[in-house]
């Protein structure tokens, strides 16, 4: 199998750009998911007259997804390779934390709202 003629740094930059291109639209869509969840929770709270912390978690979660979206967007806008790696790392970590928080909010919704 022939080896890739591009230097390692170029391949790493391309890999980071591909990761950012995946994170950016997915995280932006997840902001919409969080906002939809908040809206649905407000309907449930108004009907059942009791709230939960889940809507607060989803609000914070939407901010984390927005942060991941903006980090990956600015990483794709150009600049140095070092900046690309730094912003990609920020986008990656904030996306993972936001997904874990979203899962936690789902458990809270499942076991407290019903």
Q: Place 10 in a pLDDT band, splitting at 50, 70 and 90.
A: low
Which residue would you say has higher pLDDT here, 103 or 109? 103
Residue 98 inside a domain? The answer is yes
Which residue would you say has higher pLDDT here, 49 or 62? 62
Helices (H) and strands (E) in the chain, counts: 3, 0
Residue 24 inside a domain? The answer is yes
Both tokens of residue 30? 């997840």
Residue 4 inside a domain? The answer is no
62-106 tens-digit pLDDT = 899 899 889 888 887 877 778 888 888 898 899 899 989 988 888
Residue 3 inside a domain? The answer is no
Q: In the chain, what is the straight-line distance between the N-terminal and C-terminal CA atoms, in Å?
A: 57
pLDDT of 12 reads 54
The secondary structure of residue 74, as a DSSP letter, is H
What is the pTM assigned to this prediction?
0.70
Residue 14 inside a domain? The answer is yes
pLDDT > 70 fraction of the chain, expressed in percent and rounded: 76
Residue 105 inside a domain? The answer is yes
Q: Give the range of the structural domain holding residue 107, as residue numbers without chain letter.
A: 10-112
Number of domains in the chain: 1
């Amino acid at each position: 199998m022939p080896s890739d003629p591009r230097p390692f740094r170029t391949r790493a930059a391309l890999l980071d750009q591909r990761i950012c291109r995946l994170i950016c639209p997915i995280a932006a869509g997840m902001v919409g998911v969080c906002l939809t969840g908040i809206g649905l929770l407000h309907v449930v709270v108004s009907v059942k007259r009791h709230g939960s912390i889940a809507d607060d978690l989803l609000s914070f979660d939407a901010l984390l997804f927005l942060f991941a979206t903006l980090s990956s967007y600015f990483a794709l806008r150009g600049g140095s390779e070092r900046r690309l790696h730094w912003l990609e790392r920020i986008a990656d970590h904030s996306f993972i934390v936001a997904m874990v928080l979203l899962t936690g909010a789902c458990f809270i919704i499942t076991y407290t709202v019903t």
